Amino acid sequence: MSVNTNSPPSSRKTRKVRAIDPAQLGLFDAIIPAPRKEAPQPAAIAPPPLVRRQSRAACLEKPRVVTIEDMPDYPLDLQQAVDRMLADLGAGNNLMTYRAIKDCFGISRATVARRVKEGLVPGVRMANGRVLDDGPVRRFDRTQLRWLLLAVRFAKRRE
């Protein structure tokens, strides 16, 4: 059998013979732990009962429509002033969007949205403190516009 001397030393088939040292035989043996004795479990303990929470749908209130009976009482002079403003507006504007209210009365969309959310405008559907959409564009009729103007003017008067 000939050994190839041109190949690197790692590819040579050489074998070292290790002598078995009797002093190291027990060093790497696996240690088997003694089995632990567990305390007996009392059989009378039952698992805690499952607490079921109500579903979110069960907690939600049904949509309601804000009515004129829900509106607060405003002073008579304020009501007369708002009625005059609506009379001056003319009969052409029956439904008004946020932009038309801003152009005619100078009330921002944010203020209108706050008053609607506070429940100060009748005819708006609400559920769980949120205003529900009534179409792609919210339009206010004259009755809603009257109560909106009353709410805004009354808040300005209180400041």
How far is it, in rounded angstroms, from Cα 110 to Cα 115?
A: 9
Answer whether residue 7 is part of any domain.
no
In the predicted structure, residue 97 carries a pLDDT above the cut 90: yes
Beta-bridged to residue 64, according to DSSP, are: 126
pLDDT of residue 4: 55
Answer whether residue 75 is part of any domain.
yes
pLDDT of residue 76: 95
pLDDT of residue 53: 74
Does the global pTM surpass 0.75?
Answer: no
The pair of structure tokens assigned to 88 is: 């001056």
pLDDT of residue 8: 57
Q: Name the percent of the chain lying above pLDDT 70.
A: 72
Q: Which tops the pLDDT comparison, 112 or 53?
A: 112
Answer whether residue 32 is part of any domain.
no
Q: How confident is the model at residue 41 (pLDDT cuts 50, 70, 90)?
A: low
- The tally of domains found in the chain comes to 1
Answer whether residue 113 is part of any domain.
yes
Residue span of the structural domain in which 113 resides:
67-158
Region 123-145: mean pLDDT is: 91
Region 67-75: mean pLDDT is: 93
Answer whether residue 132 is part of any domain.
yes
Phi, psi of 48, rounded to the nearest 5 degrees: -65, 145
Mean pLDDT of the chain, nearest integer: 81
- Please name which of 135, 136, 115, 132 lies closest in space to residue 124, comparing C-alpha atoms: 132
Q: How many CA atoms lie within 13 A of 104 on its CB side?
A: 17
Q: How confident is the model at residue 12 (pLDDT cuts 50, 70, 90)?
A: low
Answer whether residue 60 is part of any domain.
no
CB 67 within 8 A of CB 144: no
How far is it, in rounded angstroms, from Cα 135 to Cα 66?
A: 17
Poorest-confidence range of 56-60, 83-87, 90-94, 142-146?
56-60
Give the end-to-end CA distance of the chain in Å, rounded to a whole number.
110
In the predicted structure, residue 74 carries a pLDDT above the cut 80: yes
Region 112-136: mean pLDDT is: 92
Answer whether residue 136 is part of any domain.
yes
Answer whether residue 77 is part of any domain.
yes
CB 27 within 8 A of CB 91: no
